[in-house]
Amino acid sequence: MVTLDDLQVRSLGTSTIDSPLALYVGGRETNEYYVGETDRILYDDTLELIAARGVPLEELPTFEAGGPRRKIFFDPATTRVGVVTCGGLCPGLNDVIRAIVLELDTHYGVRDVVGFQHGYAGMVESNGHEIVSLTPEYVARINERGGTILGSSRGAQDPGLIVDRLVELGIDILMVIGGDGSMRGAHNIGAEIERRGLTIGIVGVPKTIDNDIPHIGQSFGFSTAFAKAAESIKAARVEVEAAVGGVAIVKVMGRHAGFIACYAALANHDADFVLIPEVQFSLDGDNGLLSLLSRRVRERGSAVIVLAEGAGQDLIPASDRTDASGNAVLGDIAGFLRDQITKDFANRGQALTMRYFNPGYAIRSVPADASDSVYCTRLAQTAVHAAMAGRTDMVVGRRRHRFVNVPIPFVTSGSHSVSPDGDLWLSVLESTAQPFSMS
């Protein structure tokens, strides 16, 4: 069970320097739109959950509110900040980099910000990657581009060598933009810093296109990603409606969480079936996918299947291969389904025109849309506020429209996924008329 101790963010020490943003904070109290500096944000969001804990109010699990403080830990005049992007691409990476640099420069007066190229690999000197000076002029228009101007990479690096590099370069704060594995790496770097008795802050802006990091609300780039995926679903609908016995499979990202598949399907109601890792399905039997698909095509003339890449892995042989991050290489569920559907329709003597769409890399490499750009900016600003106030070993997030500071060990202790009993999956079933169970 989550406790108050689990949500305590570590600090490098007492903040004694007047913040340039003190006037923004002074005199403001908690209200509907703002959380006061010393106030905290409830972890639970219903009376029943709170009552079930049976603890006094002051012991309820709560998050530290994100935002500027009256006092800061680092002197802006002498502070040097490093920024690194790790893992796969995601819409909004450049927006986050840009907002970090502009917030540090414009509001805190921190002029010395550098970027490490190609993820954690760029932080190990022997790998030979040069650091980049990140000035307001350099980052001025990068938000108009997809990807990351710093490049990225997967795979772990030696925390000791990374800390050596931070010390050599005089880095006071490291801002890490990355996913679950990147945040584990950030925690290991922070542990090495603590072991050496150094005062270097580690603050993360969590990134996952699958939206599968828990306790941070929606991930940046996610809304852009599912909007682009929805365009492919719409195109698939047009294709199959023009064909005889048209069936389309639209494969989207989602190794362990089907959020992109669900939201993309809900965006335009063009999907007939949504297959996600969290909900098992069978191929055979009266209530299996093949029978239901055949029936849907006979009744409506066509069908669109939205397939998360991690769905149906129990139906195909497991792979023993892993990628650079240590993730198991998924089996080709899309190819398997295409073959099974083709054989089944042939056995039934039913006409079939198969179409396959895979927008995976396209949806993660585009620039962020306007909504995501705003979210990236606000997350980046919250991260800078926390870093300048001496917080470390933490990430920023948003819980029910409130920005929060969250310990890295807490967000990496589990995962976030679509609940088969939740209202999101119910909405998908309502939208598609897909049976509650396909087994």
- First-to-last CA distance in the chain? 33
Write down how long the chain is: 439
**Residues contacting residue 308 through CB under 8 Å, at least 6 positions apart:** 251, 252, 253, 254, 257, 258, 260, 261, 275, 276, 277
| Residue 306: C-alpha distances to residues 237, 251, 254, 403 (Å) | 11, 6, 11, 32
- As beta bridge partners, residue 284 has none
DSSP, res 152: -
- At residue 64, the 3 state secondary structure works out as strand
Q: Which candidate in 210, 270, 344, 372 is catalytic?
A: 210
- As beta bridge partners, residue 63 has 41
DSSP percent split of the chain into helix, strand, coil, nearest 5:
40, 20, 45
Take residue 87 and report the two structure tokens written for it.
């893992």
Cβ neighbours around 31 below 10 Å, total: 8
Q: Are 211 and 261 in contact (CB under 8 A)?
A: no
Chain centroid to Cα 38, Å, comes to 28
Q: Is 320 annotated as catalytic? A: no
Q: In what order do the strands lie in the sheet with 173-178?
A: 40-42, 62-65, 402-407, 394-399, 201-206, 173-178, 80-85, 112-116, 131-133
Alpha-carbon gap, residue 77 to 74, rounded angstroms: 9
As annotated, the active-site residues are 210
